Amino acid sequence: MRTGAVIVAAGMSSRMGEFKPLLQLGGLTFVQRVVSNFQQAKVFPIVVVTGYRAQELERHLARLGVVCVRNPDYARSEMSDSARLGFQYILDKCDRVFFTPVDIPLFTCGTVQRLMDSPAPVAKPVCGGRAGHPVLLSRPVVERVLQSPAQGGLGRAIARCAPFTELVPVEDGGVLLDADTPADYRQLLERHNRQLLRPVVSVSLMREGLLLDQRAALLLHLVASDGTMKEACERLGISYSKGWGLLRQLEENLGFPLLQRQPGGEYGGSSRLTLQGQRLLGQYEAYAQAVQEFAGQAFARFFPEEPSAPPAEGQGPAERAQEKEETA
């Protein structure tokens, strides 16, 4: 069962005053942290919906192995509209989809894995009696959300379309901590008292030169699903010429063609993977997943989880929200 993710990062961050996806949190930006949390749990594909400052953000994401989907109408649309764009793109590429906005960066890989263990059509993490993000949706629920009216927000649409929602208890306050204002951001920085310790494994196949790596595999995966090199390069955040240059280098090193090209015409050109290309991509993805699983097991063995540091003095966004609920 393949599980993907949609991260919405299209908004203008007007309340924050700074561009939230690129705010630093330790040694990572918000968007890097969220992507890393999903990648550690072997979530693929990961779609980031961009809008405001899209080109800058897409350049920032170019080497992270994610797919970018742009919302050109970000200034006049809601977060739910951006989420729907991401859902439309990812729907036929996986069996389940995580959803989260980019400004909730402190949930852990362990929480993602706990949610993936749920067989429910919708699974939400719950900490201290309150539900947070990311939310895991089955494909049938995503299909119904896309068919439902856009009014009322994404949360209400999910509630209408889900026959059952499992609330998964987690000891992870990060599922509740968002950053809408500068004060929220300062509190997140105080709580983030050490760098994110995580295994980062890059899987490459080499002969005399590069045969395949994560970036090249994602390019082939996108060509296979989108049908054109141009659109695949746009999704990956690289130039068209760079994409073809990478492909030609791979084919030269491999000694066989990876793509069948259909020349452009009235309806434009198209490309698809050759049988050899399909076989190589399937073998690489299965091998990379096995390596990632082994790396995760070895990491847990040699770097057992350390106790959490005590929270900083003062109230963060989650504590303030809880106080409001208790006094309402």
Output the domain CATH number for residue 238: 1.10.10.10
pLDDT of amino acid 26: 76
In the structure, what pLDDT confidence band is assigned to residue 128 with cuts at 50, 70 and 90? confident
Mean pLDDT of 74-100: 94
pLDDT of amino acid 239: 86
Share above pLDDT 70 across residues of the chain, in percent, rounded to a whole number: 86
**pLDDT, tens digit (0-9, with 9 covering 90-100), for 251-265:** 999 999 998 887 664
34 plus 156 within the same structural domain: yes
**pLDDT, tens digit (0-9, with 9 covering 90-100), for 129-179:** 899 999 999 999 999 999 988 777 888 889 888 888 999 999 888 898 887
311 pLDDT above the threshold of 60: no
Domain enclosing residue 271, as ranges: 205-301
In the structure, what pLDDT confidence band is assigned to residue 6 with cuts at 50, 70 and 90? very high
131 plus 230 within the same structural domain: no
168 in a structural domain:
yes
pLDDT of amino acid 265: 46
Whether pTM > 0.85 for this model: the answer is no
174 plus 258 within the same structural domain: no
Dihedral angle over CA of 53, 54, 55, 56, nearest 10: 50
User: Residue 136 in contact with residue 118, Cβ under 8 Å?
Assistant: yes
82 plus 190 within the same structural domain: yes
95 plus 167 within the same structural domain: yes
Mean pLDDT of 97-105: 94
34 plus 93 within the same structural domain: yes
326 in a structural domain:
no
**pLDDT, tens digit (0-9, with 9 covering 90-100), for 46-84:** 999 999 999 999 999 988 889 999 999 999 999 999 999
118 in a structural domain:
yes
In three-state secondary structure terms, 115 is: helix
Name the domain boundary from 181, 198, 215: 198
311 in a structural domain:
no
Could you report how far apart the first and last alpha carbons of the chain are, in Å?
A: 43
Q: How many domains does the chain have?
A: 2
246 pLDDT above the threshold of 70: yes
Q: Please provide residue 245's backbone torsions phi and psi, each rounded to the nearest 5 degrees.
A: -65, -40
313 in a structural domain:
no
pLDDT of amino acid 299: 84
96 plus 7 within the same structural domain: yes
User: Residue 230 in contact with residue 247, Cβ under 8 Å?
Assistant: no
Q: What is the CATH number of the domain that holds 162?
A: 3.90.550.10
186 in a structural domain:
yes
User: Residue 47 in contact with residue 205, Cβ under 8 Å?
Assistant: no
* Cβ density class 312-323: b for 16+ within 10 Å, e for less: eeeebbbbeeee
52 plus 194 within the same structural domain: yes
- CA pseudo-torsion sign 156, 175, 301, 290: positive
Mean pLDDT of 272-282: 91
115 plus 8 within the same structural domain: yes
State both tokens at 252.
């030269």
Name the domain boundary from 171, 198, 225: 198
pLDDT of amino acid 191: 61
Share above pLDDT 90 across residues of the chain, in percent, rounded to a whole number: 40
50 in a structural domain:
yes
pLDDT of amino acid 309: 47
182 in a structural domain:
yes
288 pLDDT above the threshold of 60: yes
34 pLDDT above the threshold of 90: yes
166 plus 279 within the same structural domain: no
pLDDT of amino acid 181: 74
